[in-house]
């Protein structure tokens, strides 16, 4: 299996149905670790669903992004967020280059459509998101203010 640079995905997916890529960045942690895990990106052959991880072109930035669909609008626009981020993006279907269909984590092959452990991860990550968001945006900031007042 040849592994390509993720920014070559458009060219590779024009030539073949799927290709493997190393990832970079922290927005999909803990699932995807920078330069350690390999994702298999395939051409989009069916409508995307909530939970799918599309690779898309981000407007105004010359790079491709891999984030999870958390909602779909009526106009076929996806509401997308990284597993390790707290902001949402709206991405039109026309910006989608491909979709993650599998990954290699520590050398182990994981099929995104059939793996029970992967589906459990997706469910759990979505389930605990409100708690993580509350911790990151509210509780941690409040504790920091209290700590600063005590130290004064």
Show the domains of the chain with their CATH numbers.
3-151 (2.10.109.10)
Residues contacting 109, CB < 8 A, separation 6+: 102, 103
Rounded Cα distance, 3 and 39, in Å: 9
What per-residue string of b and e applies to 87-108 under the rule 16 or more CB within 10 Å gives b?
eebebeeebbbbbbbbbbeeee
pTM for the structure as a whole: 0.87
Rounded Cα distance, 36 and 23, in Å: 8
- Show the tokens assigned to 90: 């709206």
Q: What distance lies between CA 40 and its chain's CA centroid?
A: 13
What per-residue string of b and e applies to 113-141 under the rule 16 or more CB within 10 Å gives b?
eebeebeeebeebeeeeeeeeeeeeeeee
What string of pLDDT tens digits covers the 152 residues of the chain? 567 676 788 888 989 999 999 988 999 999 999 999 999 999 999 999 999 999 999 888 878 999 999 999 999 899 999 999 999 999 999 999 999 999 999 999 999 999 999 999 999 999 999 999 898 888 888 888 888 889 87
């Amino acid at each position: 299996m040849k592994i390509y640079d993720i920014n070559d995905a458009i060219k590779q997916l024009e030539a073949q149905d799927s290709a493997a890529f190393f990832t970079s960045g922290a927005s999909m942690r803990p699932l995807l670790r920078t330069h350690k895990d390999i994702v298999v990106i395939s051409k989009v052959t069916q409508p995307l669903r909530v939970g799918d991880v599309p690779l898309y072109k981000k407007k105004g930035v010359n790079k491709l992004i891999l984030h999870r669909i958390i909602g779909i609008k009526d106009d076929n626009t996806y509401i997308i967020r990284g597993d390790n981020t707290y902001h949402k993006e709206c991405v039109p279907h026309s910006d989608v280059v491909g979709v993650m269909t599998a990954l290699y984590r520590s050398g182990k092959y994981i099929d995104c459509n059939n793996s029970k452990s992967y589906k459990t991860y997706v469910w759990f990550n979505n389930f605990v998101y409100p708690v993580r968001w509350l911790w990151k945006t509210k509780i941690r900031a409040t504790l920091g203010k209290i700590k600063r007042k005590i130290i004064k």
